Structure 1
């Protein structure tokens, strides 16, 4: 990504600069070492020989006349001044014959300590060298004396060129300045592209903690930080959605209590009124009494269903809803469940089609809870059907599981309601009959019970054509 590539490129540039600086430093050390080596080499001795060669040749020719002939001494004195050297000529016993220096009081020298034939020992100080050369007679080729030259170092050593060290120093200084600039740019880059966005994310997080979910986290560049911002904003929207859903559920829960109170109050009032009528002898015969009893029975069933839904919901909220699974054969159990449900559906004018055959297999099931699921699904189908429609129940083996299908030919479910069918308190908008409006808990309870059986529940619906629910129960 962008930041990784950027950091990698800058890191490579910094490494290259460091390597060049190290190379320049090594070059300066090598140049210094080479200069010292050149100063100690034989090349310097050769420079000295060239400097004094004329005087050495004159000494070898006129060495016998130096002591007696003033002209020879004057000639040597002149050559010493011309070549900017000081000459002391001594015989083999150390006695000084000629001294061109102003301080010519030296009469004798110690040949063991005064004669230096190498450059290292010849150096007297930083500016002067004392170098000795043997003087050989031309005729006999025998050494007859020693010539001691005092030579300024500037005439011996080759002047060092400072061009290379200066260039290396300029390169090193420039690279160091570039490194400082790079560090400044990196610091600014980290501050602008990393630290400031993180501070902004901190502000957005504090806003979310305070319940302000409308403040959108935006970042212009889609790099690593931009991806973090995108994920953060998705999280914000998810939290906002869950917060809204929570508020809706809390509001729905309040409405649920109010609706159940109202719905229980209505059948209770009706039940009380019919009981009072029977007590007061309003019914003239037994058939009238039985009609009243039937109405009272229907209202009692309605209160029982409402109370059961409310109880199961409360147990589910507390995590205490009980599903006791036992091994049972499916056929007899399901026949026992479907018979009263079919009878009730037919009394509403809706056709109830029972399964032609029920597989008799062994399953782990809580019969009471499974009856609650089938009753809730059937009651939900009744809310969306009317007289002349049909409800079909089919039970079969599929994919190694027991599949229970409950289909109706009613109004169906609106597409916008489908994602929320199994949510608590959710009530579809398609049902316009207030008398059939439920609590919004039935399908949520069904899903919880089926999942407690280690099964699954799903549905398909087409508006105006009906709805089909599938429940899958694993076999033993």
Structure 2
């Protein structure tokens, strides 16, 4: 948590510094604009002063013959004085010579007019009036920077517009950084800390575009994979515990029986040939049960690791079932039961792993024999459907409680009724069968009721 706060404070500090720089820039820009305004005011004051000086010159020029030419030449601006006869009285402008005659109407056709000239000067002409009578004309060359000033607003408005857009840009950048970068980074950090502490449930609620959004998406995908991996690891640990518990329970019964019968033979409890043969047959039977139990455990381990291989062979369904059911009829008969094949076997081309499907049917038949009484029958029939065939195996044994049906395909599950009985079995047969059927693209289901028997049905896809 301490590192999280330091990281967040660092990012927030960066944002605050950035915002502070923007504010400083705005303040400096405002100060600069006021300095420009102040400079314009100074220029205007200077212009007014120059106009006053020019007016003073005009007052002097009213008495032009009383002012010597030296003073005129050293005046502030270049100018020319012309009397009403068109004679140049004085001129510091190169375009006019003292004493020359000019046509006033052609040369100066307007009063108080501005005549644009080159070299950054504006030629300005104005009448010389004394006692309400015009005595002459004065022409002055003035700098454009004095007479042709821009409006203060024309200079300030673009600056304020620029400042406005800078502020808008700063707000947008601030929002982008805080919402689209800092927020998802904080969520990523929180989720990473949670994962580090063993919790994988801290989801990132992201809706971001660009690289940040892609990174959040990839992080969520990684988190999902980690959740799956964690769940698989926990499931394997549970399975290991269940496996150890079931092995210790299910192996104990046949081993105890074998041990007991061997001790009976050794201790002379039976010493006749028939008794020894009977004990030997029981020992052989228990040994086979033990071998079957170990095989089931190995098969279940393969299903857990997804290492059970499926090697398909194309075969017609009727040919396959005739062969497998013929062998099963003999096995069922040895338990004083009958296998009844109902209806016609459909002829459809299927692709199956023959050994694995045999294993499925044997597991189901074995359960039917185990939970049925001697002399009962087991029915089997195959339904022909459009894209698949359905194999149905029904017994008339003790049945399964409705509460147990959802769990019959779970590994090690044997039902409450038979959990503590002497009926052999690992509780893995139907779990393995389910894995095999689903590996072929089919499905398997169970329907049953107590004392009415059980039906197991599974499907095989047609080619």
The interval holding the TM-score normalised by the smaller chain is 0.5 to 0.7
The answer to whether 1:343 aligns with 2:333 is yes
Equivalent residue, structure 2, for 1:217: 202
CA distance in 1, matches of 2:352, 2:149: 106
Cα offset, 1:177, TM superposition? 2.4
Look up the SS of the partner of 2:89 in the other structure.
strand
Q: How is 1:73-472 mapped onto 2 (pairs within 5 angstroms)?
A: 86-89=79-82, 97-99=88-90, 107=98, 118-121=115-118, 124=121, 129-130=122-123, 149-150=139-140, 152=142, 157=147, 160-207=150-197, 212-213=198-199, 216-217=201-202, 238-259=228-249, 261-273=251-263, 275-276=265-266, 281-282=271-272, 292=279, 295-296=282-283, 298-313=285-300, 319=307, 323=311, 325=313, 327=315, 329-346=319-336, 354-359=340-345, 361=347, 368-382=355-369, 391-409=378-396, 410-412=398-400, 418=406, 421-429=408-416, 431-436=418-423, 438-450=425-437, 454=440, 456-462=442-448, 464=450, 467-472=454-459
Cα offset, 1:180, TM superposition? 1.9
Instruction: State the Cα deviation string for residues 198-242 of structure 1 (Å, max 9, x = none).
Output: 1112222333xxxx24x64267x79669x9799888777655543
Look up the SS of the partner of 2:418 in the other structure.
coil
Instruction: State the Cα deviation string for residues 257-293 of structure 1 (Å, max 9, x = none).
Output: 434542441342245246558895246xx5x667546
Contact 2:125 2:137 in 1 (8 A): yes
Equivalent residue, structure 2, for 1:43: none
Q: Which has the larger radius of gyration?
A: 1
Cα offset, 1:130, TM superposition? 4.6
Judged with a 3 Å threshold, the aligned counterparts in structure 2 of structure 1 residues 357 and 461 are, in CA distance, closer, same or farther, namely closer
Cα offset, 1:475, TM superposition? 5.2
Equivalent residue, structure 1, for 2:39: none
CA distance in 1, matches of 2:289, 2:276: 20
CA distance in 1, matches of 2:100, 2:180: 76
CA distance in 2, matches of 1:371, 1:263: 27
Q: Report how many residues are paired.
A: 368
CA distance in 1, matches of 2:289, 2:307: 26
Judged with a 3 Å threshold, the aligned counterparts in structure 2 of structure 1 residues 440 and 147 are, in CA distance, closer, same or farther, namely same
Single out whichever of 441-450 and 312-321 deviates more from structure 2: 312-321
Contact 2:400 2:449 in 1 (8 A): yes
Cα offset, 1:423, TM superposition? 4.8
Judged with a 3 Å threshold, the aligned counterparts in structure 2 of structure 1 residues 439 and 473 are, in CA distance, closer, same or farther, namely same
Cα offset, 1:308, TM superposition? 3.4
Contact 1:267 1:300 in 2 (8 A): no
Look up the SS of the partner of 2:460 in the other structure.
strand
CA distance in 1, matches of 2:148, 2:159: 22
Equivalent residue, structure 2, for 1:59: none
CA distance in 2, matches of 1:469, 1:355: 15
**What TM-score do the two structures reach when normalised by structure 1?**
0.58
Instruction: State the Cα deviation string for residues 119-145 of structure 1 (Å, max 9, x = none).
Output: 223855xxxx45689xxxxxxxxxxxx
CA distance in 2, matches of 1:307, 1:451: 23
User: CA-atom RMSD, angstroms?
Assistant: 5.3
Judged with a 3 Å threshold, the aligned counterparts in structure 2 of structure 1 residues 109 and 336 are, in CA distance, closer, same or farther, namely farther
Judged with a 3 Å threshold, the aligned counterparts in structure 2 of structure 1 residues 344 and 165 are, in CA distance, closer, same or farther, namely farther
CA distance in 1, matches of 2:175, 2:314: 72
Contact 1:384 1:412 in 2 (8 A): no
Cα offset, 1:322, TM superposition? 7.1
Single out whichever of 382-391 and 355-364 deviates more from structure 2: 382-391
Look up the SS of the partner of 2:80 in the other structure.
strand
Contact 1:122 1:130 in 2 (8 A): no
CA distance in 1, matches of 2:146, 2:291: 124
CA distance in 2, matches of 1:440, 1:274: 30
Contact 2:289 2:424 in 1 (8 A): no
Provide structure 2 residue ranges, at least 5 long, that are not aligned to the other structure. 1-53, 109-113, 127-135
Look up the SS of the partner of 1:197 in the other structure.
helix
CA distance in 1, matches of 2:184, 2:311: 53
